[in-house]
Amino acid sequence: MSEWSTEERLVEEAVEAIGEGRPVVLPTDTVYGLCTTPRAPESLSRLKGRGPEQPIALLASEVDILLELVPELPEHVVRSLLPGQLTLIFQNPEGRFPLLSPLGTIGVRVPELRGSARRIVTRAGAVAATSANRHGGPDPRRLDEIPDEIREQAVLVDGGELPGIASTVVDLTGAEPKILREGAIPAADVLARLA
């Protein structure tokens, strides 16, 4: 079998798994992510060992796709910050993808994906995504750093070694932006781009 057909088969398998609500491990521009359909993200919380009250991000391969899925997001803000190593949290007045967060908010991410990962997420439309670790565990930079119980149950897409620093999380639900977690992008850079 050619390398192309092996990769194609993996893309097909991953897209099918996501559609069925099964977990897939994908390389992002930060760490390995644990993904599935945003309409049935329960498998992610179960595998991570955390409660459903913990929010999960909506991840798209392109800003345009994200804005189609959640059209009430402030387009100028989203385009000024994404794509990149950020997770943005907005109010979710229309209650889109309600299983991702019980808080009336929605976290969104458009990482700079490459290769198979980009094709999988584009074909899936968007995915529910969280880091591929146990709750509170270290963020995985390589497939072999992902806990066995996750690797055994997920479709695995290998992207080699990743930067290993999680996305910076920015809360944009209030009058002023708040940095909830400083990660791959310095807080000062984020705030400067929003100024």
- The CA-CA-CA angle for residues 35, 37, 42, to 5°, reads 80
What pLDDT does residue 3 have?
A: 62
Q: How far apart are CA 132 and CA 153, in angstroms?
A: 12
The pLDDT assigned to 4 comes to: 66
Element containing residue 59 per DSSP (H, E): strand 57-59
CATH of the domain at 174: 3.90.870.10
Q: Which residues pair with 179 in a beta bridge?
A: 170
Cα–Cα separations (whole angstroms), residue 154 to 13, 25, 166, 187: 11, 6, 20, 33
CA-based torsion, 65, 68, 73, 77: positive or negative: positive
Q: In total, how many domains does the chain have?
A: 1
Burial of 125 (0-12, 13-18, 19+ CB in 10 A): middle
- Which residues make Cβ contacts (< 8 Å) with residue 93, sequence separation at least 6? 72, 104
Alpha-carbon gap, residue 107 to 57, rounded angstroms: 5
Q: Which of 46, 56, 3, 35 is nearest to 117 (CA)?
A: 35
pTM score, whole prediction:
0.95
Q: Tens of pLDDT along 38-93? A: 999 999 999 999 988 899 999 999 999 999 999 999 999 999 999 999 999 999 99
**Residue 20, domain extent:** 3-194
Residues of the chain with pLDDT under 50: none
Query: Using CA atoms, how far apart are residues 171 and 90, in angstroms rounded to an integer?
Result: 7
